[in-house]
Amino acid sequence: MKLGPRDVDSQLRALDRRYAAVLVYGPNEGLVRERAETIARQVVPDLKDPFNVSNLTSSEIAADPARLGDEAAAMSMLGGRRVVRIDAAGEAVAGPLGFVLGDYKGDSLIVLAAGDLTPRSALRKLIEDAQNAVAIACYDDDARSIGDLIRASLEAQGLRIEQDAGRYLVDHLGSDRMVARGELEKLGLYKAADSDRMIRLADVEAIIGDSSSTAIDEVASATTGGDLPALDRALEKAFIQGETAVGLLRAVARRLLRLYEASGYLAEGARPDEAVKRLRPPLFFKDVSPFTTQLNRWSAERLVSAIRIVQDAETDAKSSLLPAETICARACLRIANAARAARG
């Protein structure tokens, strides 16, 4: 079965016992890992328990297809259910897993973690079509989900946060859940000795300011601003830090969409500064001036064309034989040149 977004939280709290296997997949590697571990710990709290947890790889299953069935049917030496974990699950798992699920008599929970699987993926289709298995997609966090994560994480650490600091975090934490949690934990340690337990903008800038998400923002801003030297530096920095081409393209798309939203307010008669102020969530104050300048360069029609360039580039990055980084850089350059032409 394919789990809808509204049903994810309930299954993360208490997975339905009818599911013998759970596939957690998507481009957000940190969120995939977090959710897969959350589900596995419902059955075995200590995932390092050698008696109740088996860790397999796709290559091991491909070399010995019967191994998966043996591990799933194995009984715990200490009683209770077992977990069979398969990280970086690939298409080679689909055949053996289909055989196991077709006549499943074991009591173990099989938890698979995978990358961004297309709808044509044999593994994804197997799970979505099975009545005793469920697929959970993990896409990049948006501003709302990142905001929820910030509040929950800081409250758990007994911390409060000022409004400007919260906006900065939403704009700069990035979209990968694991990276975001690490930065929030680091921020909590930084403020652990403070008596008022209040996080201010200066605290966030000191701890988060140099995170990899800054490079993502720089790529997006340089692209829509037509700053070719800055774009070249930002792309190099982002790729060195391990950012993916798809992640960068989506950051550019988000900025284009915000510009498009603001252009709609211009069409209603608002001044550029008024249009920017009407955006929700609000822009981080340091980005207001460059964003307003860029808004004056882009018409709604040209923004639509730029968004299509990004969408096509993401499709090509996932399916083309060309390196994804090359496709990403080429798309950003096309949009940046369009911004320069408008400026001229």
Task: Return the CATH number at 182.
Answer: 1.10.8.60
If asked whether residues 42 and 129 sit together in one domain, one would say yes
Type of residue found at 329 = A
Following DSSP, what letter does each residue of 183-228 receive, concatenated?
HHHHHHHHTTT-SS-EE-HHHHHHHHTTSHHHHHHHHHHHHHHT-H
Q: What is the pLDDT of residues 89-113, one digit of tens each?
A: 999 999 999 999 998 988 999 999 9
Domain encompassing residue 19: 5-137
Least confident of 229-243, 250-264, 277-291: 277-291
Q: How many domains does one find in the chain?
A: 3
- For 39, the token pair is 């589900």
Residue that finishes a domain, picked among 162, 184, 208:
208
Based on the fold, state whether residues 221 and 183 are members of the same structural domain. Answer: no
pLDDT tens readout for residues 21-58:
999 999 878 789 999 999 999 999 999 999 999 999 99
Please state, in angstroms and rounded to a whole number, the distance separating the CA atoms of residues 23 and 1. Answer: 10
Q: Rounded mean pLDDT of the chain?
A: 88
Query: Is the pLDDT reported for residue 303 higher than 60?
Result: yes
pLDDT: which is higher, 232 or 281: 232
Same structural domain, 184 and 304: no
**Boundary-marking domain end, from 208, 226, 248:** 208
Pairing of strands 198-199, 160-161: parallel
Residues 287, 324 share a domain: yes
Please check whether residues 169 and 92 belong to one and the same domain.
no
Pair 154, 199 in one domain: yes
The model's confidence at residue 302, banded by pLDDT at 50, 70 and 90, is very high
> Domain check: are 248 and 191 in the same one?
no
Domain boundary among the residues 137, 153, 182 is at: 137
Q: 275 and 338 share a domain?
A: yes
CATH number at residue 67: 3.40.50.300
Same domain, 220 and 191: no
Contacts of 284 (CB under 8 A, 6+ apart): 167, 168, 171, 172
Find the mean pLDDT for residues 318-339: 91
Is the pLDDT reported for residue 5 higher than 90?
no
Q: Report how far residue 85's alpha carbon sits from residue 33's, in angstroms, rounded to the nearest whole number.
A: 11
159/250 same-domain check: no
- For residue 245, the domain's CATH number is 1.20.272.10
Whether the CB-CB separation of 47 and 19 falls below 8 Å is answered with: no
Q: Do 119 and 186 belong to one domain?
A: no
C-alpha span between 102 and 104 (Å, rounded):
6
Question: Are 31 and 61 part of one and the same domain?
Answer: yes
pLDDT in tens, 110-164: 999 999 898 899 999 999 999 999 999 987 666 677 788 888 889 888 999 988 8
Region label for 50, one of left (φ > 0), alpha (ψ between -120 and 50) or beta (otherwise): alpha
